[in-house]
Structure 1
Amino acid sequence: MRLLHTSDWHVGRTFHGADTVDALSAVLGEIPDRVRRERIDVVLVAGDVYDSAMPAGRHVEALTRALQAIRDAGAEVILSSGNHDSPARLGANAGFARAGGLHLSTTATDPSSWCVDLEDEHGPVRVYAVPYLEPVVLRAVVPEAGIDSQASAMRWAMDAVRADLADRPARSVVLAHCFAAGVEPEDDDAPREIRAGGLDVVPISAFDGVDYAALGHIHSRQQLSPAVRYSGAPLHYSFRERSPERGGWLVELGARGLERVDWLSLPVPRPLTEVRGELESLLADPALDGTEGHWVRAVLTDAAMPLDAMRRLQQRWPHCAQVEWAGSAGRGDGADVRERMQRRSDAEVVDDFLAHVRGEGPSDEERALVADGLARVAAAEAAR
């Protein structure tokens, strides 16, 4: 059996204010061709299908067209919900969709709903599409499990997966949406909603017992082990994303389990480019010829911040999306300051606020209360 591991489609997301739905549709439109050419049986999407819990109508239509084209090409599709998705909305009509080869897994509290039973010439294959796990929600449903973090939530989920495999042995694949050990999300564009009060990392060992773990949540491809990988997003959504390539992992299961994993590239509609130097030099530099159609981040090293820098840069690079002034003192302009502010977690904002109004940050007990409150808000937003 051949499976294409993708994740983080984020239908409806913008890039520095620019609409991306047409570019994303073009990239996803390449998948049916890959399905036919590579004889792919199943396409996996490991969470964050939409970028919003309330996607616009045209974003729903764009996703529907992409999924229909993949099904028409002959592959089944298995999607799990991520922290950006509304489980109720994404999972609507899941029973009808399953009959047509589209499997939507959105009920985090019901492990019996995660499994998709498939079969090839070597026998059964079980794909467990684990939705994004919100510890606060799970604590209310299974208080006896002692779930207090993403790590313990994933251990609970994988224990359920392993128990099912013990009763019904088969080759197996799991989809999960989380930070796993070995990733460096601060260097990527990983969303921060998944954590409150600090990074919550799931150990790789949590995925023991399955043939392959198809992970989502990190937007650049990563290999944590031969059988535990991130595919990354199909588009670049930030200049912080490290890998220039976009695509997915082509996973092949043989008679005894995982046989091989290969990278399957998808086109990059608009590459990312960073240019650095003084404004006048950049505008005239022939070495940058050919980058005019790229998304551009400009780091200006002029001694003083040039006036009207963005407008002048966009005369050469119409898609210049970000300007940073390094200057002689290494200072950033207002946009850079705003970006650094936006990269703080909600818990860090609360910490800074308390330190400002009362002269000291929160105690450990207060941090725990803040973390729990933020997690409850995130859970309520995800369920809208």
Structure 2
Amino acid sequence: MRILHTSDWHVGKVLKGQSRVEEHIAVLRQVVEVAQAERPDLVVVAGDLYDTAAPTPDATRLVTRALSALRNTGADVVAIAGNHDNGAALDALRAWAEAAGITLRGSVRDRAADHIVEGRTRGGEAWRMVALPFLSQRYAIRATEMFDLSAAEATQTYADHVGRLLATLSEGFGPDTVNLVTAHLTVIGGTMGGGERDAHTIQAYAVPATVFSPGTHYVALGHLHRAQSILAPCPVHYSGSPLAVDFGEEENTPSVTIVEVGTQQAAKIRQVPVTAAVPLRTVRGTLDELAKVKESDGWLRVYVRERPRAGLREAVQDLLPRALEVRIDPSLVAEMAAADSSAQARRAGRAPGELFSDYLRSRGHADPAVGQLFDRLYGEVRAS
């Protein structure tokens, strides 16, 4: 069977105040075009359809239209919630999704059957999928209510609970079906893409690749925004985001994943680039150097090598109108901090008049008369 695997759309994303709705329209149109060209039997969207838990009506309209368009290619469509999504809100759309022939799973339920999806390819090959939406630590124990747990088992780690959950859900995998898993997880060994939410990628949320059954033919993951495969007992792959979500992802190659797999065929994985989004770039330099930067068709993050002053941001944006983020270059900040520390050491134990004379010299105003005036005024203040 052929699978199109995508994830981490983050529809509704605003980048430093810049709406990206037009980019998302173009990106999802290209994903649909890839599906039309590749004719997959199954499309998997592995979480983070939205960027926030309270998407706008426009964002909801865009996601539902994209899912419908993918379904209209003739493929089965399975989509799960990620950590950015509101699982309960996605579950509220299940009646619409089922009427449209789309499988949508927003929250982890206490019925194992709710997370098993089955189907057949155009060629009649049977497949069975475990669909596991993002599971927070808070609800990890509740999700394992389908088991009889001892007190000791109930206090085990997040990874233990996820492993137990996946093991139970995978029990129905057999030799005559293509066995699949989709989940929104951080797997140990994965490389972050650069724009993920830190709170949900820390070690407490990481699970070992051994949570996946060796009998699984392909694991379609979402959560990490960089496309990559994970060393595991079975083929485990992140599709990555189809657009760079933040400037930390400017080096990523946005894409979707195409998988060819069967009961007697090992998964063959390839990436199809998605080029419709506006690229993100970081540029550095003084104002004079930035003035020589060629006009860019991307969104810019600018690290300016100038000391902070009023109007500096505006001066940069006059030169580079597509600059969404303007910061003092971190290397210059470090140099200034080192200089301040050195200056403080030089000032230690010195008389006020000497310090003021040094200040005048640093500003090019080494006037003895001004120094004498400072000494007189300083003496009057101390005497008062």
Q: TM-score of the superposition, structure 2-length normalised?
A: 0.77
Counterpart among 118, 127, 130 of residue 128 in structure 1: 130
Deviations 1:173-229 (A, max 9, x none): 1111111111243x6111123267x54311112123311111111122222238211
Tell me if structure 1 keeps the 8 A contact 2:217–2:262: no
Work out which of the two has the higher radius of gyration on C-alpha atoms and give 1 or 2.
2
Q: 1:301 and 2:308 equivalent? A: no
Distance in 1 between residues matched to 2:10 and 2:75, nearest whole Å: 21
Give the CA deviation at 1:267.
1.5
**What is the aligned length?**
325
Q: Report the counterpart of residue 365 of structure 1 in structure 2.
A: none
Tell me if structure 1 keeps the 8 A contact 2:27–2:276: yes
Distance in 1 between residues matched to 2:129 and 2:265, nearest whole Å: 13
Q: 1:148 to 1:10 in 2, by over 3 A?
A: farther
Over the residues paired in the alignment, what is the CA RMSD in angstroms? Answer: 2.5
Q: 1:314 to 1:258 in 2, by over 3 A?
A: farther
Q: 1:223 to 1:251 in 2, by over 3 A?
A: same
Distance in 2 between residues matched to 1:255 and 1:122, nearest whole Å: 12
Q: 1:138 and 2:140 equivalent? A: yes
Counterpart among 249, 255, 260 of residue 247 in structure 1: 255
Distance in 2 between residues matched to 1:206 and 1:328, nearest whole Å: 42
Q: Report the counterpart of residue 350 of structure 2 in structure 1.
A: none
Secondary structure class of the residue paired with 2:9: coil
Identity %: 28
**Mapping of 1:29-178 within 5 angstroms?**
29-109=29-109, 110-120=111-121, 121=123, 123-142=125-144, 144=149, 146=154, 148-166=156-174, 170-178=177-185
Tell me if structure 2 keeps the 8 A contact 1:220–1:243: no
Q: 1:254 to 1:318 in 2, by over 3 A?
A: same
Distance in 1 between residues matched to 2:19 and 2:331, nearest whole Å: 35
Tell me if structure 1 keeps the 8 A contact 2:141–2:161: no
Q: 1:217 and 2:227 equivalent? A: no
Give the CA deviation at 1:246.
0.9
Deviations 1:235-269 (A, max 9, x none): 21211125432111101113414331110111242
Relative contact order, higher structure (CA 8 A, sep 6+)? 1
Q: 1:320 and 2:323 equivalent? A: yes
Q: 1:317 to 1:147 in 2, by over 3 A?
A: farther
Q: 1:242 to 1:20 in 2, by over 3 A?
A: closer
**Mapping of 1:6-17 within 5 angstroms?**
6-17=6-17
Give the CA deviation at 1:52.
1.9
Paired AA for residue 134 in structure 2:
Y
Paired AA for residue 204 in structure 1:
A
Q: Report the counterpart of residue 333 of structure 2 in structure 1.
A: 330
Paired AA for residue 187 in structure 2:
A
Paired AA for residue 115 in structure 1:
I
Give the CA deviation at 1:148.
4.2
* Gap runs ≥5 in structure 2: 337-384
Deviations 1:94-153 (A, max 9, x none): 245234321101231333112221213363111221111123223135361536443123
Q: 1:257 to 1:98 in 2, by over 3 A?
A: farther
